[in-house]
Homo-oligomer: A and B are copies of this chain.
Amino acid sequence: MSKDTKQKILDTARELFNERGYNAVSLQDIADALNISKGNLTYHFRKKEELMEALLRENQTEELPNSLHTLEDLDEAFRTMEKVVGQHSYYFLNYAQLSQLSESISEMQKNNYRMIRELLLQGFRNLHTAELFRSEAFSREYDCIVDILCVSILYWSPFESLQRSIGAYKDYRHHAWGIIYGLLTEKGHLELSSLAQFQQLYQAP
């Protein structure tokens, strides 16, 4: 029951964090939900912060591809990012606070951000080579748009609930394609509209 307990703790902690947020969940809550003692919990994870670090390390599974070459690749990346944000909302809901929690968490966040930023930036360049994206109209235009896409996806989870509350909901993927529209060449538009999964994306105004 040993390896099992450690895993059960991680699973339960993730569930509770997703439901109520990192701060609102005490070690007692987690122990109670598992019907184990608080001390048992701190045997496996000496501090709450350590538990969070283990949780992040566990979810460090790289689901993203390591390069983007087609519009489908890009769309798949948006879908994946949105899915990850949805599943680990506890992480993104307290993103800024968690970085203050420990140096190791802050490093993980930086590495993830760096990775996503490079993936998109290189992908934009690939799509430009494939003549699906127009050239940069000004210095660092791709950087600009990629940065905005990054900050948006990182904080999409809390923002989504804000949007829902005022009845303006649409998913991240639609928003991402919305601000990419201006980058597409004619060839890009053509290719996009010929793909089944994009037919709902841009509807006539």
What residues of chain A have their CB less than 8 Å away from a CB belonging to chain B? 20-21, 23-24, 93-97, 99-100, 109-110, 113-114, 117, 135-141, 143-145, 147-148, 150-152, 154-159, 161-163, 165-166, 168, 170, 174-175, 178-179, 181-183, 201-205
Contacts and interface: CB of A to CB of B under 8 A. Distances in A.
Contacts of A114: 166
Contacts of A141: 178, 181, 205
Contact of A178 (B23, B93, B145): B145
29 contacts: A24-B100, A94-B96, A96-B155, A96-B157, A96-B158, A99-B162, A110-B162, A113-B166, A117-B168, A135-B205, A136-B205, A137-B182, A138-B181, A138-B204, A139-B202, A140-B170, A140-B205, A143-B170, A144-B174, A145-B179, A148-B148, A148-B178, A151-B151, A151-B152, A151-B159, A154-B155, A155-B155, A155-B159, A181-B182
Given A113-B166, A205-B137, A152 B148 contact: yes
